[in-house]
Amino acid sequence: MQTYEEKFNRSIQNTFFTKLTQEEQSFLHAKACEYRFSHQEIKQLVDMARDITLWQEGSICDYFAEHADKRVVLKRLREAYENLRNMPNSYKTFTPKIVAKEQKYTFKTEPKEGFGLGLCPVASEKTRCCNLLTLDAVESCGFDCSYCSIQSFYNQNTITFDSGFKEKLLNLDLDPNKTYHIGTGQSSDSLMWGNREGVLDALFDFARKYPNVILEFKTKSDNVSYFLQNEVPKNILCTWSLNTPTIIQNEEHLTASLEKRLRAARKVADKGVKVGFHFHPIVVYENYLEEYAEVYATLLEMFDPSEAALVSLGTLTFIKPVIKQLRSRDFHTKITQMPHADASGKTSYPLERKKEMFAHAYESFAPWHAKVFFYLCMEEHSLWRECFGYEYATNNDFEREMLFSYTQKLGLEFLV
């Protein structure tokens, strides 16, 4: 007959129990023995304890209400945990416990199997999607955004370049009578490595060879020296992921500050390269709308709509592996401290909250409506009409409108 102690020790395997403080471990062990928690209950308590620490909301010991009935204890604890989730986050007293100031990377260049060009990894018919093709120019990113799903795919400290990248690009068999939209910046930041291993040379040559390809470089860096020092083909777009200083400082580790990103975008636009801006994820916290409004207003001041091809809006969506990855890390984040609602099989904010943030953003850019292409990234169909006042019937319609708008802005022929 298995003792409860043995059962407890088996239950904590494959959990983050050892990531908890000694005090929390002894506390949970004592309570488990006292209330005879089940395997599932123990796992849930460990995850809750881990989250409360990540969110810097004290310790699970602070939320434990004594009661003779186990069900009451668990009910009250879950309620306290959900309250933490549902209350608007505050970063006032938050310290992100940043990972190493200077990240140490191992660079590898090796022949890679296949070629990292394919449909956007999160595209779906369940959401209104633009059918973007993503190109993995480099594997793994040197930045460390706490909400990013890449971290669950790659080893973060090993940056891999494909020694056959240039040839594969130039040997791509694309239809010359069709406009393509290809984006880099999903598997790694597009510009943070500069022209290391000739990756930007290869991409610029690719853009020159295929004028029917709209090649988008998405970045959170200010490393635009290559763009400033080289002639930029007109079918190239340079876009920045932007966020409020609060989120950049607390959740987008090692990335360029908002100011640096905007200054870099201004330099590139001054050179006549079309730019664009992605607000993804828009994150909810105390006074978030006011802080985002300031960023939107700065963009309207700094750029003319003729210089910007796009503004995209999106928010947090989580898949289980990323939440698990976050719980395994030794840092603090408030990014998962949010009310989780189902979003096409992932979790995200409830629809009402999304309407609030997206409608606010779109209204803030009223001077750019009809002059710049706006879109919701990976969002429910219904949100388009609610927030923009219009919607596309299919992903192909969305894609066609986007490509037409971009080709007009870039001065390219629109080929369908």
> In one letter, which amino acid is 198?
G
Identify which of residues 131 and 156 has a Cβ nearer to ligand SF4 in the complex.
131
In whole angstroms, how close is the CB of 81 to ligand SF4 at the nearest point? 30
In whole angstroms, how close is the CB of 334 to ligand SF4 at the nearest point? 24
**Count of residues of this chain found to bind ligand SF4 when the rule CB under 6 A is applied:** 9
Question: Cα(230)–Cα(228) distance, rounded to whole angstroms?
Answer: 6
In the region spanning residues 137 to 166, those forming contacts with ligand SF4, defined by CB under 6 A, are none
Question: Cα(318)–Cα(322) distance, rounded to whole angstroms?
Answer: 7
> Of all helices (H) and strands (E), which one includes residue 105?
none
Question: Cα(250)–Cα(340) distance, rounded to whole angstroms?
Answer: 20
User: Any contact of residue 378 with ligand SF4 (CB under 6 A)?
Assistant: yes
| Only segment of 31-39, 127-135, 207-215, 323-331 that touches ligand SF4 (CB under 6 A) | 127-135
Asked if 60 and 28 count as a contact pair (C-beta separation under 8 A), the reply is yes
Of 268, 377, 383, 387, the one binding ligand SF4 (CB under 6 A) is: 377
Closest to 340 in 3D by CA, of 325, 322, 358? 322
SS3 content of the chain, % helix, strand, coil (to 5): 45, 15, 40
Identify which of residues 15 and 127 has a Cβ nearer to ligand SF4 in the complex.
127
| Only segment of 44-52, 117-125, 192-200, 316-324 that touches ligand SF4 (CB under 6 A) | 117-125
User: Any contact of residue 129 with ligand SF4 (CB under 6 A)?
Assistant: yes
Of 48, 60, 132, 214, the one binding ligand SF4 (CB under 6 A) is: 132
User: Any contact of residue 182 with ligand SF4 (CB under 6 A)?
Assistant: no
Closest to 199 in 3D by CA, of 156, 142, 138, 240? 138
User: Any contact of residue 130 with ligand SF4 (CB under 6 A)?
Assistant: yes
Question: Cα(37)–Cα(52) distance, rounded to whole angstroms?
Answer: 20
| Only segment of 13-21, 23-31, 116-124, 187-195 that touches ligand SF4 (CB under 6 A) | 116-124
Q: Is 311 helix (H, G, I), strand (E, B) or coil?
A: strand
* Rg for the chain, CA atoms, rounded: 23
In whole angstroms, how close is the CB of 378 to ligand SF4 at the nearest point? 4
In whole angstroms, how close is the CB of 230 to ligand SF4 at the nearest point? 26
Question: Cα(196)–Cα(381) distance, rounded to whole angstroms?
Answer: 40
User: Any contact of residue 282 with ligand SF4 (CB under 6 A)?
Assistant: no
Closest to 78 in 3D by CA, of 56, 53, 55, 49? 49
User: Any contact of residue 133 with ligand SF4 (CB under 6 A)?
Assistant: no
Q: What is the dihedral of CA 395, 217, 191, 116, to 10 degrees?
A: 60
| Only segment of 54-62, 100-108, 129-137, 152-160 that touches ligand SF4 (CB under 6 A) | 129-137
Of 123, 256, 295, 326, the one binding ligand SF4 (CB under 6 A) is: 123
Q: Note the residues at the interface with ligand SF4 (CB under 6 A).
A: 120, 122-123, 129-132, 377-378
